[in-house]
């Protein structure tokens, strides 16, 4: 039996381009190191380069850790990364009220945007898990 694929290396490498800000680490469910990369510019670029080779293993770990379901992780992450301040990712997840609040407040003044970088994988996993029952 094969493990369902929740994350893809293509999106991981796309976000790795912004990896000196930790985007790919947040994508793979590693918010602490993502935050560290954000504040140190990818551990002064060294960690960022090392991650070029670590993405396949981070991808496998994320596929095991998070629940597959109707909400696609890749779509949500692309929406969060590029349109997160407008709440489009929340509207995609059918979180209508918070999505509209994000739209009107710039991601609740940026703090909600940062919160979602920390928790988006878990939010999607919970929604996907509740849809399987």
Q: What is the pTM of this model?
A: 0.89
Dist CA 98 CA 24 (whole Å): 24
Dist CA 45 CA 14 (whole Å): 16
Dist CA 42 CA 64 (whole Å): 25
CA torsion 119-15-59-41 (nearest 10°) is -80
Residue 59 confidence (pLDDT): 96
**In angstroms, what is the C-alpha Rg of the chain?**
15
Computed over every residue of the chain, the mean pLDDT equals 93
Q: How confident is the model at residue 20 (pLDDT cuts 50, 70, 90)?
A: confident
Residues 88-116: tens digit of each pLDDT: 999 999 999 999 999 999 999 999 999 99
31, two tokens: 């918010």
DSSP code per residue over 28-50? TT-HHHHHHHHHHHHHHTHHHHH
Q: How confident is the model at residue 18 (pLDDT cuts 50, 70, 90)?
A: confident
pLDDT at 132 over 70: no
pLDDT at 129 over 70: yes
Whether 7 and 28 have beta carbons less than 8 Å apart is answered as: yes
Residues 18-35 have a mean pLDDT of 90
Tell me, what DSSP letter sits at residue 94? T
126, two tokens: 């919970």
pLDDT at 76 over 60: yes
């Amino acid at each position: 039996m094969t493990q369902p694929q929740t994350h893809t290396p293509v999106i991981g490498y796309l976000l790795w381009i912004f990896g000196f800000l930790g985007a790919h680490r947040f994508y793979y469910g590693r918010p602490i190191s993502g935050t560290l990369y954000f504040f140190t510019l990818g551990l002064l670029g060294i960690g960022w380069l090392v991650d070029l080779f670590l993405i396949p293993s981070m991808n496998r770990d994320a596929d095991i850790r998070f629940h597959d379901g109707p909400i696609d992780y890749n779509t949500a992450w692309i929406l969060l990364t590029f349109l997160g301040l407008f709440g489009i990712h929340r509207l995609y997840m059918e979180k209508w009220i918070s999505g509209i609040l994000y739209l009107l407040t710039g991601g609740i003044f940026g703090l909600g945007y940062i919160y979602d970088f920390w928790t988006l994988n878990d939010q999607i996993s919970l929604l996907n898990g509740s849809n399987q029952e």
